[in-house]
């Protein structure tokens, strides 16, 4: 692998961050339009854009003619040069690592997977370093122009410190993951909760573009939620804002791994659904795929299990909508979660409509299938965000 190029440092002010982010997420866009949307003066926009152009992150496209009364000189839109820098992203699951390399627009260029056989921190860090080395070796350009790596992991993450405070699926507590992986890879490392990372990708590069307020709900092993309010991802004072999976919907319900009882996740996560389906059918060998197939085939007992799960999810989404008032809710998840969605969609929407207050019930629900590589893309999006925001 070739030695990495030295990265220029064009980000020098909040105005620079604002201008670059707008071109990145909404471009190509002219300086005049940037000034109109941001309230910056034309001179301030030009000053902010200049170092990005000189460093090769932005380029001026061919001027486009203006028309209409008062039309001035032709505008030269600013656009991103997506291959100016590359970013690594790794999603850490309970059994494997999924890694990607993306360009500046978070478009996945290459991906790879690596199984996890040991949850010991040292072993996982070594596996991450090996996976990243394989990914960057796919192209000389990746090795030269990749300086940043994002890591996405479920649980309680302190992004500012780079620590995993608690990850239930890895049985980790107080792990300084960013520091350990930075030492092992030589890259700048950002660690984020996986759902918040996916939310950043949606905000900057997906369904959240242009929406000042939205929520992302993930279905699968856990029930997660990322929140954007007034164009900012909400972390909360302790970094755990949006944890709708741990909203209690039944005080007498099953125990949750968090220590609570009756949490949404304890009712509607993949493992609780499977346990309930096995109990309903009397089949201890039933798999989640088998449970989904049985429900689709009309097994009333299994259908009731999914209905209860959907009702719990709908109540939690309504509670979140009542508190936050998002413009839209994007629902996504792993394969099992999305395969299940059709089974409890009616229960979700019914519970949501019945519990949402007033206009909160008008919130638009969007279903977005997403493979696991997209979680790794979310990690890369966080690395991009870290580099280009102040």
Q: Which domains does the chain have, with CATH numbers?
A: 14-80 (1.10.10.10), 85-200+374-388 (3.30.420.40), 210-367 (3.30.420.40)
Distance CA(286)–CA(272), nearest Å, equals 13
Q: What's the Cα-to-Cα distance from 359 to each of 112, 130, 327, 355, 356, rounded to whole Å?
A: 44, 50, 10, 11, 8
Sheet of 172-175: strands edge to edge?
156-158, 163-167, 172-175
State both tokens at 198.
């996916």
Contact predicate 184/125, CB 8 Å: yes
Cβ within 8 Å of residue 287, ≥6 positions away: 274
pTM of the prediction? 0.84
Q: What angle do CA 20, 22, 28 make, to 5 degrees?
A: 95
Alpha helices in the chain (DSSP H): 14-26, 31-38, 42-54, 121-136, 140-145, 177-185, 194-205, 264-268, 270-281, 288-296, 300-324, 335-355, 373-388
Nearest to 108 by CA among 130, 134, 126, 82: 82
Of 381, 354, 378, 380, nearest to 368 by C-alpha is 378
- Burial of residue 232 (CB within 10 Å: 0-12, 13-18, 19+) is exposed
pLDDT digits (tens), the chain, 390 positions: 445 555 556 666 888 989 999 999 888 999 999 999 989 999 999 999 999 999 899 999 987 655 444 455 567 899 999 999 999 999 999 889 999 999 999 999 999 999 998 999 999 999 999 999 999 999 999 999 999 999 999 888 999 999 999 998 899 999 999 999 999 999 999 999 999 999 999 999 988 888 889 999 988 888 889 999 998 888 777 666 778 888 888 777 788 888 888 899 999 888 999 999 999 999 999 998 899 999 989 999 999 999 999 899 999 999 999 988 898 998 887 655 556 667 788 888 889 888 888 878 788 888 776 777 889 999 999 999 998 886
> From the centroid of its chain, how far is CA 275?
28
Q: How far apart are CA 264 and CA 201, in angstroms?
A: 25
């Amino acid at each position: 692998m070739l030695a990495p190029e030295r990265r220029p440092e064009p980000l020098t002010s909040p105005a620079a961050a604002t201008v670059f982010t707008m071109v990145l997420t909404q471009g190509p866009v002219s300086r005049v339009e940037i000034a109109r949307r941001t309230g910056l003066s034309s001179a301030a926009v030009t000053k902010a854009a200049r170092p990005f152009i000189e460093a090769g992150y932005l380029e001026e496209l061919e001027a486009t003619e203006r028309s209409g009364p008062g039309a001035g000189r032709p505008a030269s839109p600013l656009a991103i040069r997506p291959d100016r820098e590359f970013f690594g992203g790794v999603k850490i699951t309970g059994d494997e690592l999924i890694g990607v390399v993306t360009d500046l627009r978070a478009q996945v260029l290459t991906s790879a997977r690596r199984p996890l056989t040991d949850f010991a921190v040292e072993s996982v860090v070594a596996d991450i370093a090996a996976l990243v080395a394989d990914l960057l070796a796919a192209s000389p350009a990746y090795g030269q122009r990749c300086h940043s790596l994002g890591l996405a992991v479920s649980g309680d993450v302190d992004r500012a410190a780079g620590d995993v405070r608690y990850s239930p699926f890895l049985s980790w507590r107080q792990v300084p993951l960013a520091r350990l992986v930075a030492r092992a890879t030589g890259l700048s490392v950002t660690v984020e909760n996986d759902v918040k990372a996916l939310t950043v990708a949606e905000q900057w590069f997906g369904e959240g573009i242009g929406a000042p307020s939205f929520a992302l709900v993930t279905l699968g092993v856990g029930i997660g939620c990322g929140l954007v309010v007034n164009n900012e991802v909400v972390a909360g004072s302790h970094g755990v804002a949006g944890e709708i999976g741990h909203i209690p919907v039944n005080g007498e319900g099953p125990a949750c791994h968090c220590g609570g009882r009756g949490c949404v996740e304890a009712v509607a996560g993949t493992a609780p659904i499977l346990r309930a389906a096995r109990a309903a059918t009397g089949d201890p060998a039933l798999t989640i795929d088998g449970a989904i197939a049985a429900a689709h085939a009309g097994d009333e007992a299994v259908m009731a299990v999914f209905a209860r799960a959907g009702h719990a999810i709908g109540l939690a989404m309504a509670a979140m909508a009542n508190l936050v008032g998002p413009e839209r809710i994007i629902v996504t998840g792993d394969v099992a979660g999305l395969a299940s969605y059709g089974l409890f969609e009616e229960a979700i929407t019914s519970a949501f409509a019945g519990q949402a207050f007033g206009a909160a019930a008008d919130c638009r629900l969007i279903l977005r299938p997403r493979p696991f590589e997209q979680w790794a893309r979310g990690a890369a999006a966080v690395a991009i965000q870290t580099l280009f925001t102040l």
